[in-house]
Structure 1
Amino acid sequence: MSRVVVLTGASSGIGRAAALAFAQRGDRVVLAARGLPDLSAVAEESGGLAIPADISDGASVDALAAAAVRAYGRIDVWVDTAAVMAYGKFEDLPPSVFDKVVTTDLLGAANVARAALRVFRAQGQGTLVLCSSLLAHVTVPYMSAYVTAKWGLRGLIRTLRQETRDAPGITVCTVAPGSVDTPIYQRAANYAGRAGSPPPPVAAPSKVAEAILRQVDKPRPEVSVGLANRLIEFGFVVLPPVYDALVTTMMRTFGLSRHKIEAHEGNVFHPAQDLEQASGPDLNAQNSQFGSGGAP
């Protein structure tokens, strides 16, 4: 029997790849993101139902859940991959940017979990897959807001698994990718002076989508996606002085490109389409220098 799958963050990257993968195997997909043009394109590709929603707004997420239940009678799976990112030293990030990244990536995921679990409790079953990151297990400079959010999300996920032990039909799990070829790096806010770049090795979104589908079919607490993830985690935990001595150089070499750019808010406050329409020629030129990119 086909599942009803809600995907938040479905307009690009991992969310888009997962939507297409679920649809290809016959599941019915409800797609949500802030930007309607890209979302509509994915809906056309997948045959899904597009519902614009901002996960940082709890009421918006609740309305999405209600719309999915009205349309299909239930929600079997909810996958959240929505995220924004900001580059720059902590002291250089405007507080509003730092706060919005944490609000979207951590509190937004909490909004999703709250809405999904409410539906799952009423049904007695459901699977929640939250997209975490390698950066929920290690820290790197110039990404303090994203790291803070993902470490917090890791704690939330563990707590949710403990609190749903009384409901055998409900599963909470996560996928933790390293670098993935999505636009998040280029759309990120940037106060580092140099454009973001996905550090190698970079996985295709389809690889993460495959891991998400495996989590739905045979759930595990967490699945890591990335050839170097375990090695990086080992260095962080077992050799912290060495890791800390090397990570800034590695980040500046592989995590930031050589393209110099002016400070900007990226898509932290507005969808990518709004950014392109309102940013003017300077930011658009900066974005065009480094293409479609990738993200954790």
Structure 2
Amino acid sequence: MKHRVLVTGASSGIGRATAHRLAGEGARLVLVSRSQGVLEEVARECDARGARDTLVLPTDVGDHEAVAATFAAAVSAHDGLDGVVHAAGVAAYGRFQDVPPEVFEGVLRTNLVGTANVARAALRHFEERRGGSLVLLGSVLGKISTPWMSPYATSKWGVAGLARALQIEARSLPGVEVSLVSPGGVDTPIYDLAATWIGHHGNPPPPVTTPEKVAEACIAALDEPRRDKNVGGGNPAMVAGFRLLPGVFDALVTPLMARMGLDGKDAAPGAGNVLEPVPEHEAVRGRWPHVWGQLR
């Protein structure tokens, strides 16, 4: 088990669940997100679960200078890092032409540029210390596309491409590993936190799994690297339909998205947490009861 781990997106969803699991294994943790107050709460949760040490470093991963400073502080505090789990992410709903440019760019800034910033800092440190494991969060939407989620899909396709490039380059770095974990629908607050310009909030597409299940996959990948670990029972079918039967997929995906990918409740247009954090809605889980593997 990697003993010194930096987790981004640690204030909510998969990142928070990952921090909890690592704390239960006695890790020394560096907790990163934009929400300092929530991070301090998560630090207390991790200490109660058995973390050896927790360091809170509020950071916007879209700012490369801030990320570099965060890694420098983390390395100094813990005398190095063994692993990094990059789980920070935001989303936006709406027709492409309706989503404001600053929101579209904001999703890419956090999800894609943020991944590049974290990966750059992690790999430079791991190369210097000749070892370390980087786990990046992708998505099934890095393999398929749906209507009304163009910012998120664009960012996650980019993350998948970046992860593969880094995996190939890491073959020449002794002891350095890069993994991609690609969940499908997960019961986290990201859907209610997302920007929306379609009149509704999103729903996680079924079958829905738990953030704890995705956290397990991330932690396993720290020690046993995976090129691309899918988490979600429906992912293989969705990807197969998208690749093998594109005409059928395109005909079905919009009505299915309207029925199962949106919550049906009216929502005013807004940027959600894309441009600024919304700490009051950050938590491990969201509000979706239709969870597959709830007890797993």
Match of 1:43 in 2: 43
- Picking from 167, 174, 184, the partner of 1:168 is 174
Q: What does the per-residue CA deviation read over 1:72-106, in whole Å, with 9 as the maximum and x for residues that have no partner?
A: 10110011000011000001000111011011100
Match of 2:78 in 1: 72
Match of 1:29 in 2: 29
- Picking from 260, 263, 281, the partner of 1:257 is 263
Match of 2:142 in 1: 136
Distance in 2 of aligned mates of 1:32 and 1:2:
17
1:204 aligns with 2:176: no
Q: Which runs of 5+ in 1 are unaligned?
A: 277-283, 285-290
CA distance 1:140–1:2, change in 2 (3 Å): closer
Match of 1:19 in 2: 19
The letter for the 2-side match of 1:78 is V
SS of aligned partner of 1:257: coil
Could you state the TM-score of these two structures normalised by the residue count of structure 1?
A: 0.92
- Picking from 282, 286, 292, the partner of 1:292 is 286
Distance in 2 of aligned mates of 1:64 and 1:155:
25
- Picking from 241, 245, 248, the partner of 1:235 is 241
Once the two structures are aligned, what percentage of the paired residues are identical?
Answer: 47
Match of 2:273 in 1: 267
Match of 1:182 in 2: 188
SS of aligned partner of 2:58: coil
Match of 2:252 in 1: 246
CA contact (8 A) 2:2 2:82 kept: no
Report deviation, 1:2. 5.7
Report deviation, 1:44. 0.7
Distance in 2 of aligned mates of 1:99 and 1:195:
20
Report deviation, 1:153. 0.8
SS of aligned partner of 1:148: helix
SS of aligned partner of 1:195: coil
Q: Which runs of 5+ in 2 are unaligned?
A: 48-53, 289-296
The letter for the 2-side match of 1:106 is L
| Structure 1 range deviating more: 43-52 or 119-128 | 43-52
CA contact (8 A) 2:14 2:211 kept: yes
SS of aligned partner of 1:186: helix
Match of 1:287 in 2: none
C-alpha RMSD of the superposition: 1.7
Distance in 1 of aligned mates of 2:213 and 2:82:
22
Distance in 2 of aligned mates of 1:15 and 1:173:
16
SS of aligned partner of 1:194: coil
The letter for the 1-side match of 2:173 is A
Distance in 2 of aligned mates of 1:2 and 1:256:
38
The letter for the 1-side match of 2:180 is T
Report deviation, 1:204. 0.6
Distance in 2 of aligned mates of 1:263 and 1:54:
24
CA contact (8 A) 2:2 2:83 kept: no
Distance in 1 of aligned mates of 2:2 and 2:269:
46
1:88 aligns with 2:97: no
Distance in 1 of aligned mates of 2:116 and 2:14:
19
Match of 2:228 in 1: 222
The letter for the 2-side match of 1:210 is E
CA contact (8 A) 1:197 1:293 kept: no
The letter for the 2-side match of 1:112 is V
The letter for the 2-side match of 1:95 is P
SS of aligned partner of 2:207: coil
More helix by share: 1
Distance in 2 of aligned mates of 1:60 and 1:179:
30
Match of 2:112 in 1: 106
CA contact (8 A) 1:185 1:293 kept: no
Distance in 1 of aligned mates of 2:201 and 2:71:
36
Report deviation, 1:168. 2.7
CA contact (8 A) 1:30 1:68 kept: yes
Could you state the TM-score of these two structures normalised by the residue count of structure 2?
A: 0.92
